[in-house]
Amino acid sequence: MAHNMNVLITREQIADGVARIGQEITREFAGETVILLGVLKGACLFLSDLARQIELDATFDFIAVRSYGTKKESAGEVQLIKDVTTPLEDKNVILVEDILDTGLTFTFLKKLLQARKPRALKFAALLDKPSRRLMPVQADYVGFQIPDQFVVGYGLDYAERYRNLPDICVFSEDKGK
């Protein structure tokens, strides 16, 4: 099946959005240390660019979750498949995600991470699809709000593919005639 791609957010726009979030975090946590906690695998490109826009004493950690469902829809059940390796108690933790969609993943991670008693827990999402929300959550830092369209690139995948595209593209399957 052929896949159609249309650029929605260019690499230049992404860089501007990431820089803006980096400045906000730098300002809000001035004089403090932060842990950038990336949600594998989608957030790894965003985290690596964001980290270079944050002028603070920062460390990295990673967490991985799986949500069962089809290639385009998560099914509502989130499972932890890799935990952090550093203690979060009394630390400033910035959870870094590629996209906030239904909010199920963030709701799951928020509960898990709050139990570790961080000093602050903030949530940075490069993309936000507010119209898809099933849980009443929002991100503290958002790069771009997007409509209800499935996107790939800059870390985001379709069945593990297209994460390495430099632009964020709207993806659709060309079902033919």
Binding site for ligand IMP (CB under 6 A): 42, 67, 74, 97-106, 150-152, 156-157
Closest approach of ligand IMP to the CB of residue 113, in Å: 15
Closest approach of Mg ion to the CB of residue 112, in Å: 18
Q: Determine contact, residues 118/90, Cβ cutoff 8 Å.
A: yes
From the list ligand IMP, Mg ion, none, partner contacted by residue 100 (C-beta under 5 to 8 A by kind): ligand IMP
Provide the b/e sequence for 47-60 (b: ≥16 CB within 10 Å). bebbbebbebebee
Tell me which of 98, 101, 128, 167 is the catalytic residue.
101
Closest approach of ligand IMP to the CB of residue 85, in Å: 20
Strand partners, 97: 125
Q: Which amino acid is at 95?
A: L
Question: In terms of CB distance, is 54 or 156 closer to ligand IMP?
Answer: 156
Distance CA 68, CA 81 (A): 12
Our answer to whether residue 57 is catalytic in this structure is no
Max CA distance (Å), the chain: 59
**Site residues (vs Mg ion, CB under 5 A):** 42
